[in-house]
Structure 1
Amino acid sequence: MAPEFVSFANGDTTLRSSDGVDFRVESVYLGLVAEGILPPTDLPLPAKTVDAEHFIPLSETGDVLHLLLALIYPRSDRPNPLALTAAQGEALLRAIDKYDIHSFVVTQFVNEYLTSLAPISVWVLAKTYRYHEAKREAIRRFISDSHDPNFWAIPELARVSGLELANLQHVKHVAQKDARHALGGIFWVCGTHAHAEWYLTHTTTLRDDPFCLDLWSEDALRAIITKEGCPQCLKAFSKSGPTRRRESFRDRIRIILDRAAQRGSDENYLSIIHEEPTSSTLGQSAGQFPKYYSLPMPFTRPTPNRTRFRR
């Protein structure tokens, strides 16, 4: 029999799982949260069983229905999203989507479960079950996270086409390029420390992981310079201006990530990458993308005015 906390003695509806487990539930509350489980009122009830009791057959197993009903009905001992296996988690997501279940508890559970997964896994599940905000957040995490050595071992990759994965990698490549271009000129040092070990480490991190938040921490950079004891570097870094504010580092990262996530979620953008050349794109140089993808760069340094003098 089904676990006691999801089976009510005064229940007026019986749900039967695919493996023959019966759940007696209250149809009034169930209809408010998960109306898709109950048959429409204008349809006849299923045929009576041997014991003259009506039941609604469902395609989910007893374990999945156990977890699903524990989320639907207000109980203190709800399932722990971090304790689910990959198969249990996706079976729950499939059932939630199938029966169109909407409640604060279910939404919170889904968010906690998706947050515990790798970004690429969240991306695949969000695409499948139409979690648009989760999909954008997964793209942000995929772009900003450093290289995962177990990336190719993620089982969800088997459900992604090579074209979709190439599109995602393209979005990440463009975002990293934008970050290096926008942030590369923020930090200047004097000629003496241009080859110092700490500055070389800084530039290497910028090249390999431009979205490292520690890299763009004003306190961290100031501490490094102060430790080196170079007043010229510290003075250059401490100049007043919009590029020296602490918020500017985080704002630039956030804007680039948000734009990349939006582009990665736009199916039209991804389809244009592989479109056939047209008269409007034939004149572009090799490697240059259409104006549709061009990312405004409001944070670049102004080009100095070089005036030529005649003798």
Structure 2
Amino acid sequence: MSDSQDSPAFASPPFDHVKADVILRSSDGVDFRVFKLFLSLASPFFETLFDLPQPSEETSTDVVIRDGLPVVPVSEDGRTLNSLLRFCYPCTLAEDPKLEDFREVVDVLEAVKKYSLDGIERTVCKSLFNPQILEVNSLRCFAIACRSRMQDECVLAAKYTLREPLVPGWFQEIELITSTELLSLLTYHRRCSDALLTLKDDLTWITNEYQHWNAIPWVIARVSGSGHCGCPRSSVERNVFGSEYPTAQWWEDFMDSTFLDLRDKPCAETIKSNVEKAIHTVRQRNCRHCAPVVPAGMRDFGIVLTNKIEELISQVSLSATKHTGVI
């Protein structure tokens, strides 16, 4: 059966070659003129398919022919099929696609598995592990990395999951990982949180960075030189800069809330959010000494704290599983 005049549009180059010997038709009606040889070399599935006796218009009314070529309908849409075929073609004819959307990567990955493109699977998986995708899909990327036995990517995704709550909500790809792998991830999250708690009580990291309280007088509610700035002080005295100092109440509240939140989300975003809340509090108090200097000072302090927690987190390892050794 030949196509009518309302035939689907052809795909863009290189999938519109006049010497192609088969047409793949996407689910959304785009025809890809391709070469059987390239697809057969890349995929055992296509090799077997094209080795089968091909029916003709004379022997079957179900066969669709266009421009003398058999049309093979596939379930993938045009976008997915375009990316898949680019991986199959020689690099001199088609560059590997840039996959920058999580859903697109997953669709291509499913097609890769469907057509037994084993040599391409790891390459497609690696497309998931760029910051834009990891920032919003860390748990899903972790699950896919575990399933594909990609150790480095497991570790990278695990670090991004620290932006998620300790007990995550359900996500579709959770079915790809074992209970052991999930337990390992949750344990890693808890160990990272625990590692940061020492920073709240031992403030030597502040002394090491700022050397003298004059660099950050607002922490102890003082004015550079001498005197109290007027901000309420907490009842807590901190051992900082070699002496015991009562801290500003707003700063003590910042430390309490930040480290409480870090137990659930031990990441830079937690610190940044709490820094901005502290700045808002100081501005509302309108202390003539603190209000002008705290915004810049606290943002700098937040960077110092962030660098310190990232240093500690880098020392926490993702435990290996007994069965796979992947993580």
Q: TM-score, normalised by structure 1?
A: 0.55
Distance 1:132 1:114, change over 3 A: farther
Identity among equivalent positions (%) equals 12
Would you say 1:24 and 2:79 are equivalent positions? no
SS in 2 for 1:24: strand
Aligned residues: 247
Aligned residue among 36, 41, 45 for 2:42: 36
Would you say 1:267 and 2:321 are equivalent positions? yes
**Cα pair 1:180 1:206 within 8 Å, conserved:** yes
Higher strand share: 2
Would you say 1:194 and 2:212 are equivalent positions? no
SS in 2 for 1:171: helix
Q: Which residue of 2 aligns with 1:257?
A: 313
**Structure 1 CA distance for aligned equivalents of residues 81 and 69 of structure 2:** 18
Aligned residue among 18, 30, 53 for 1:48: 53
**Cα pair 1:70 1:79 within 8 Å, conserved:** no
Q: Which residue of 2 aligns with 1:275?
A: none
**Cα pair 1:8 1:25 within 8 Å, conserved:** yes
Q: Which residue of 1 aligns with 2:165?
A: 147
Distance 1:174 1:202, change over 3 A: same
The alpha carbon displacement at 1:183 in A equals: 5.9
Q: Which residue of 1 aligns with 2:81?
A: 65
**Letter in structure 2 aligned against 1:48:** P
Q: Which residue of 1 aligns with 2:198?
A: 181
Aligned residue among 97, 107, 117 for 1:88: 107
The alpha carbon displacement at 1:154 in A equals: 1.7
**Cα pair 2:45 2:116 within 8 Å, conserved:** no
Q: Which residue of 2 aligns with 1:7?
A: 15
Point out the structure with max Rg over C-alpha: 2
Q: Please, which runs of 5 or more residues in structure 2 have no aligned partner?
A: 1-7, 58-67, 208-218, 221-236, 238-244
SS in 1 for 2:310: helix
**Cα pair 1:18 1:61 within 8 Å, conserved:** yes
SS in 1 for 2:142: helix
SS in 2 for 1:209: helix
Q: Write out aligned runs for 1:73-84 (5 A).
A: 81-82=100-101, 84=103
**Structure 1 CA distance for aligned equivalents of residues 312 and 19 of structure 2:** 53
SS in 2 for 1:204: helix
The alpha carbon displacement at 1:138 in A equals: 1.1
The alpha carbon displacement at 1:162 in A equals: 3.8
Distance 1:39 1:195, change over 3 A: closer
**Structure 2 CA distance for aligned equivalents of residues 252 and 97 of structure 1:** 45
**Structure 2 CA distance for aligned equivalents of residues 7 and 270 of structure 1:** 40
Q: Which residue of 2 aligns with 1:124?
A: 143
Distance 1:249 1:268, change over 3 A: farther
SS in 2 for 1:194: strand
**Letter in structure 2 aligned against 1:258:** S
SS in 2 for 1:100: helix
Distance 1:14 1:180, change over 3 A: farther
**Structure 2 CA distance for aligned equivalents of residues 129 and 66 of structure 1:** 23
**Cα pair 1:46 1:55 within 8 Å, conserved:** no
**Letter in structure 1 aligned against 2:188:** V
SS in 1 for 2:54: coil
Would you say 1:213 and 2:268 are equivalent positions? yes
**Structure 2 CA distance for aligned equivalents of residues 75 and 255 of structure 1:** 42
**Cα pair 2:109 2:121 within 8 Å, conserved:** no
Aligned residue among 100, 124, 148 for 2:119: 100
Q: TM-score, normalised by structure 2?
A: 0.53
